[in-house]
A = this chain, B = another copy of it.
Amino acid sequence: MTDALQPTAARPATLEDVARVAGVSRSTVSRVVNGVRNVDPAIQETVRQAVAATGYVPNGAARALVTRRADTVALIVSGAGETGGDGMLFTDPFFGRVVGGVLCGLRPPGMHPVLMLADDDASRAQVIAYLRRGSADGALLVSTHGGDPLPALLAEAGLPAVLFGRPAAALPLSYVDLANHEGARLAADHLAARGCRRVVTVTGPADLPAGQDRQAGFREAMARHGRPWSPEAAGDFTRRGGAAAMTRLLAEHPDLDGVFAANDLMAQGVLAVLREHGRRVPEDVAVIGFDDSSAATAAHPRLTTVRQPVEEMATRMTTLLLDRIRHPGAAPTSVLFEPRLIIRDSA
C-alpha cells in the first residue's frame, strides 16, 4: 500500500488524494461524490473504489465555505432573564416534543439542529453572530416570553427564521401556531356542557400571546354561555405556578366547580392542590388542561385536555424554514393548527 492509499490518521484524505488514487482529476471526483452531471460509469466505479480505499469524507468547512451553506439550523429557546437553572427549562415536556418534531423534519434533508439558549443580551448577540457568520443557515425559535427581543433582532438582521407561536409584536417572520382561541373555546364548551357553574381559570404568562389567546378565547366562550366573568389567577406554565394560582383561587372561591388551566403542567399543580383540599376530581371539580403533553396521562386522574400537535407543528416549522432558506426572497408564511379536545378522566 502506498501513502496515498493509506493516509495517516493525522491527515484525512482530501479530494486530491482520491483523485490521485483513482487517476482522474479533482473535479471528476467531486462530480461523482456529489452526483452531478454525467460521469462515465466505469470512471464512477473507479472513483468509488478510491473513495472507499482512502476512507474519504468531504470536509464540511471547505464545502460550507464555497457553497455558503452550513446545512445546520439553530434551534433557539429564548426567554428573557433568569431561567433559574437551565435544567428546569428543558424539563418541560413541551420542549422535548418540539425537539422531537424538529429532528423529524430535519432528518430528510440530512440536517441537524444546534441548540442555543438566549436568555440575556449577551447570549442574544451570540445567537445573531452565530447566524451571521454562517454557522447556521436559519433559526427555529421558541420564545417563552412575550417581551423577547430576539424575534425583532432576527427580522432586522434579515436572517431566515421561523417562530413557534405568533410573535408578540407584528413582525415579518414566518410562524406556526395553534388556534389557541378555538382551543380555549373547546375547553369552555366542555365545562359548560358538564354543567359547571363556577369556573375559574389559571392563565399562562400575561405577555405571551399563547397565554393571552387562551385566556381571551376562554372568556369569550364563557360569555357566549352567559357567564360574563370568571375568576382568573396568573400562572407561569410551571407545575408550581399552577399550584400557587390554584391555592389563591380556592381561598377566594371555595365553591368553584371547574378549572381551566392554560397548560398541562399547571393543571398538574391544580390537581395536587385540589387533592390536598379534599376535592374530588372530577366529581367535585372538573379540570381541563392544555397541550396534551405527557403530563396529561401521567397525572391522576388523567387529564382531559386540549391537544396541541406540537411535534407536527415543530416539523412544519422546519419545512417552513427550509423553504425560506432556499427562497430568501419569499414572503413570510404562517400556519395555524387546529386544536382538539381529548376527553379523559378529569372533566
Report A's interface with B, CB cutoff 8 A: 9, 12, 57-62, 64-65, 68, 70, 72, 75, 85-93, 95-97, 99-101, 103-104, 107, 110, 112-117, 126, 129-130, 132-135, 158, 239, 268, 272, 275, 293-295, 297-298, 300, 310-311
Assess the A294–B58 pair: CB atoms within 8 A: no
Say how far A247's CB is from chain B's closest CB, in angstroms. Answer: 16
* Cβ–Cβ contact B112 & A115, under 8 A: yes
Q: With A59-B133, A61-B64, A110-B126 known to touch, is A91 a contact of B90 (CB < 8 Å)?
A: no
Q: Are B114 and A100 in contact (CB under 8 A)?
A: no
- Bound-state Cα–Cα, A297 to B297, Å: 16
In the complex, the chain B residue whose C-beta lies closest to that of A110 is B126
Chain B residues closer than 8 Å to A88, beta-carbon distance:
100
Rounded to whole Å, the gap between the CB of A162 and the closest CB of chain B is 17
Q: How near does chain B come to A315, taking the closest CB pair, in angstroms?
A: 10
Q: Are A133 and B60 in contact (CB under 8 A)?
A: yes
Chain B residue numbers with a CB within 8 Å of A103 are: 86, 115, 117
Where chain A touches its partner, the secondary structure class is helix
Which among B75, B97, B117, B134 is the interface contact of A115 at CB below 8 angstroms?
Answer: B75
Q: Smallest CB–CB gap between A290 and chain B, Å?
A: 17
Q: What residues on B are CB-neighbors of A115 within 8 Å?
A: 75, 99, 103, 112-115
| Inter-subunit contact A133/B58 (CB<8 Å) | yes
**A to B CB contacts below 8 Å, 17 in the list:** A57-B133, A59-B65, A59-B133, A60-B64, A60-B135, A85-B100, A85-B311, A86-B99, A87-B100, A90-B96, A91-B293, A95-B96, A112-B116, A112-B130, A113-B115, A114-B115, A239-B294
A293 to B92, CA, bound (A): 11
For the complex, give the distance between the alpha carbons of A72 and B134 in Å.
13
Q: What chain B residues lie within 8 Å of A130 (beta carbons)?
A: 60, 112
Q: A72–B135 Cα gap in the complex (Å)?
A: 10
- Residues in B neighbouring A135, C-beta threshold 8 A: 60-61, 72
Contacts of A114 in B (CB 8 A): 72, 112-115
Q: How far is the CA of A117 from the CA of B112 in the complex (A)?
A: 9
Q: A176 to nearest B CB, angstroms? A: 16
Instruction: Report how far A291 CA is from B12 CA in the complex, Å.
Output: 42
* A132 contact from B12, B75, B272, Cβ within 8 A: B12
Quick check: B65 and A70 within 8 Å, CB to CB? no
Counting chain B CB atoms within 10 Å of each CB, the highest count among A12, A59, A129, A268 belongs to A59
Q: Given A9-B158, A60-B135, A61-B134, does the pair A294, B113 have CB atoms closer than 8 Å?
A: no
Which residues on the B side are within 8 Å of A298 (C-beta)? Answer: 239, 268, 295, 298
A275–B299 alpha-carbon span in the complex (Å): 12
**From residue A48, how far is it (CB to closest CB) to chain B in Å?**
16
Which residues of chain B have C-beta atoms less than 8 A from A65's C-beta? Answer: 59, 61-62, 65
The smallest beta-carbon distance between A192 and chain B, in angstroms, is: 29
Indicate if the CB atoms of B134 and A91 lie closer than 8 Å.
no
CA distance A129 to B71 in the complex (A): 14
A59 to chain B, nearest CB (A): 6
